Amino acid sequence: GVESTSKDPEVASSRLVPGQEQSSSSKRKKLVLLGTGWGGMSFLKDINTSLYDVQVISPRNYFVFTPLIPNVTNGTVEARSIAEPIRRMCRNRKKDVKLYEAECLDIDHNNKRLLCRDVSEVTVKGKEEFIVDYDYLVVAVGALSNTFGIPGVEKYCHFLKELEDASRIRDTIVDCFETASLPNLTDDERKKVLSFIIVGGGPTGIEFAGELHDLVHQDMAKLYPFLKDLVSVTVIEAVDHILNTFDARIQNYAERKFRQEGLNLKTNCQVKKVNEGEIVYLDHKSNREEIMPFGLVVWSTGLGTRPVVRDLMEQIGQGDRKVLATDEWLRVKGCNSMYALGDCATVEQRKIMEDINKLFELADKDKSGTLTVEEFKEMMEWARKRYPQIETFMKKKQLKDVRLLIKSAEASHTTDKTEVDLEAFKEAVAEIDSQMTRFPATAQVATQQGAYLARCFNRLPLESEGPEGPLRVTDEGYHRFQPFRYKHLGMFVPLGGEEAAAELPGDWISIGRSTQWMWYSVYASKQVSWRTRALVLYDWIKRLFFGRDSSR
């Protein structure tokens, strides 16, 4: 599948000599995976490499356990402890894959070709770029930090996305303290250098703020006691509350905790500009522009689109979107043989309303124009597997039986309580469709999608149609492959001070120290290998005895 882009005919023809490798892999279809993050790793773990000629392209030859990145910024965990080399994982799991450490620059979906480039420090001159072609493509390249085009962000702020970002932030924090220790500074200048700002009150920003607060008030305060009254940590959030995707109880707890501990919370404040050493924001409460000096700003406000994904979206008529749209089988809309998952994609769930006439026709076996309750039930039992919103709706309304779904429709259609006509059916369905929500951009979603897609691919006794099975409601009304379903297992936010909050399924909220212990055990168990698990545990224990490492 790999060719050199070199124009040299010698090189080109030598590649075409029938080789052992080519003949053995010619039967297998070429499956190319872009990205080795949560989505890519999860797919790779489960894909049966004897069925496909699997090639993996990623600018990093390792996987990063992103939930622990904030812990790297303050020296609780070492960067190396949360990175797992992909080659090591493939060897251990006996995966026969080719891995190219390179970035995919361009996806040519018409010709099923990828343009890739070695972006590492060591390259061979003139051979940095190469082409890979594919039969199936799985796009799992994740997303970028979103700057919203605000001037100065790219230049003066740190992002908290990659492992290198965390190490750089850690260095800068120590640098700020060392600079503030120099003899020729005034206290005012020291205060400016020791002003740490976090923009974005989402879970990542808040976790980082909590960690940073611990670091500067515990460990750094011991090493730089003369600076401890000059340090400040500020969170700037554009809306009313921090953690606004979480339950109000968690929001309130976190806000109260932060305020008690002297962390500055600036809600309703929108950053307008970042200059060297100062940030300009609009305080919506007073409607005034304020300026705040800083030594370090960490920018954590949400996700933006990678250029390679944006280009692809323009090619396939998705140019007006922010994320790649897929159907519920994770197939990229408007493309053949292309799949996408994780942060770079979003699943457009199918509305029942789109299929309503067809469904009604199928259910109405005697063509009477109405459904008996039994017919309705049969249809809904089947539809439950096809349209996940039915399950969500039934859970929310605590309905045990699909028959109860017509209850709401019955109320307005008092004609005959044992029959459902198309109008009543539509009414019931409209309410169900309104329950559809987007999946969040989390490791949990990406992991489940990777495993799901691998399962689809593995089931293939390759039919001409591909691994996904029929998409639309067929005349028989059945699908061989169920659409992707997300199972939410809950969400943690560590708040610093050995406290954490958790929101678990079934409206279960847990906050405090015991939750932090739950967090430790969950994140230890979720490590992708025994090696990283041992390293992370070792780092945690080391910190318990010796505190955090403050060297640069």
Binding site for Mg ion (CB under 5 A): 35, 37, 39-40, 118, 120, 122, 140, 175, 179, 364, 366, 368
CB nearer ligand FAD, residue 139 or residue 271 = 139
Residue 145 beta carbon to ligand FAD: minimum distance, rounded to whole angstroms? 8
CB nearer ligand FAD, residue 142 or residue 152 = 142
Residue 30 beta carbon to ligand FAD: minimum distance, rounded to whole angstroms? 16
DSSP letters along 171-236, please?
A: HHHHHHHHHHTSTT--HHHHHHHTEEEEE--SHHHHHHHHHHHHIIIIIHHHH-GGGTTT-EEEEE
Residue 330 beta carbon to ligand FAD: minimum distance, rounded to whole angstroms? 12
The entry of ligand FAD, Mg ion, none near residue 118 (CB within 5 to 8 angstroms by kind) is Mg ion
Structure tokens at 20: 């052992």
CB nearer Mg ion, residue 409 or residue 511 = 409
The entry of ligand FAD, Mg ion, none near residue 103 (CB within 5 to 8 angstroms by kind) is ligand FAD
Sign of the four-CA dihedral 130, 133, 138, 144? positive
Structure tokens at 84: 């797992």
Alpha carbon distance 254, 252 (integer Å) = 5
The entry of Mg ion, ligand FAD, none near residue 466 (CB within 5 to 8 angstroms by kind) is none
Structure tokens at 330: 């994770």
Residue 400 beta carbon to Mg ion: minimum distance, rounded to whole angstroms? 25
Residues 6+ apart with CB under 8 A from 343: 37, 39, 142, 143, 303, 323, 441, 446
Which residue is at the shortest CB distance from ligand FAD?
A: 37
The entry of Mg ion, ligand FAD, none near residue 57 (CB within 5 to 8 angstroms by kind) is ligand FAD
CB nearer ligand FAD, residue 483 or residue 494 = 494
Residue 72 beta carbon to ligand FAD: minimum distance, rounded to whole angstroms? 9
In this structure, which amino acid lies at residue 119?
A: V
CB nearer ligand FAD, residue 161 or residue 190 = 161
CA angle 146/151/152 to nearest 5° reads 90
Residue 4 beta carbon to Mg ion: minimum distance, rounded to whole angstroms? 15
Residue numbers of the site for ligand FAD (CB under 6 A)?
Answer: 34-40, 57-60, 66-67, 69-70, 103-104, 140-142, 160-161, 204, 306, 308, 342-344, 441-444, 446
CA angle 492/490/448 to nearest 5° reads 115
Determine whether 463 is exposed, middle or buried from the number of CB atoms within 10 Å of its CB (0-12, 13-18, 19+): exposed
Contact 146, 152 (CB under 8 A): no
Residue 67 beta carbon to ligand FAD: minimum distance, rounded to whole angstroms? 3
Return the closest-CA partner of residue 103 out of 123, 120, 86, 85: 120
> Helix 373-386 vs helix 356-363: angle between axes, to the nearest 10 degrees?
130
The helix/strand/coil state of 363 is helix
Structure tokens at 164: 């290198």
Give Cα 101 to chain centroid, integer Å.
21
CB nearer ligand FAD, residue 211 or residue 355 = 211
Residue 517 beta carbon to Mg ion: minimum distance, rounded to whole angstroms? 30
The entry of ligand FAD, Mg ion, none near residue 364 (CB within 5 to 8 angstroms by kind) is Mg ion
Return the DSSP state at 219.
Answer: I
CB nearer ligand FAD, residue 70 or residue 295 = 70
Q: Which residue has the tokens 């691998």?
A: 454
Q: Which residue has the tokens 């020791």?
A: 194
CB nearer Mg ion, residue 120 or residue 245 = 120
The entry of Mg ion, ligand FAD, none near residue 340 (CB within 5 to 8 angstroms by kind) is none
The entry of ligand FAD, Mg ion, none near residue 120 (CB within 5 to 8 angstroms by kind) is Mg ion
Residue 92 beta carbon to ligand FAD: minimum distance, rounded to whole angstroms? 19
Structure tokens at 322: 């922010």
Sign of the four-CA dihedral 62, 68, 70, 74? negative
Residues 6+ apart with CB under 8 A from 68: 77, 81, 82, 523, 536
CB nearer Mg ion, residue 36 or residue 435 = 36
Sign of the four-CA dihedral 533, 539, 545, 547? negative
Return the closest-CA partner of residue 139 out of 272, 391, 366, 312: 312
In this structure, which amino acid lies at residue 36?
A: T
Strand partners for 298: 158, 198
In this structure, which amino acid lies at residue 522?
A: V
The entry of Mg ion, ligand FAD, none near residue 58 (CB within 5 to 8 angstroms by kind) is ligand FAD
The entry of Mg ion, ligand FAD, none near residue 442 (CB within 5 to 8 angstroms by kind) is ligand FAD
The entry of Mg ion, ligand FAD, none near residue 160 (CB within 5 to 8 angstroms by kind) is ligand FAD
CB nearer ligand FAD, residue 236 or residue 405 = 236
Alpha carbon distance 434, 338 (integer Å) = 29
The entry of Mg ion, ligand FAD, none near residue 295 (CB within 5 to 8 angstroms by kind) is none
Alpha carbon distance 542, 547 (integer Å) = 7
The entry of Mg ion, ligand FAD, none near residue 201 (CB within 5 to 8 angstroms by kind) is none
Residue 107 beta carbon to Mg ion: minimum distance, rounded to whole angstroms? 15
CB nearer ligand FAD, residue 308 or residue 432 = 308
Strand partners for 499: 496
CB nearer ligand FAD, residue 369 or residue 505 = 505
Structure tokens at 386: 């096809």
Residue 401 beta carbon to ligand FAD: minimum distance, rounded to whole angstroms? 34
The entry of Mg ion, ligand FAD, none near residue 179 (CB within 5 to 8 angstroms by kind) is Mg ion
Residue 543 beta carbon to Mg ion: minimum distance, rounded to whole angstroms? 25
Alpha carbon distance 461, 32 (integer Å) = 19
Residue 454 beta carbon to Mg ion: minimum distance, rounded to whole angstroms? 13
CB nearer ligand FAD, residue 102 or residue 428 = 102
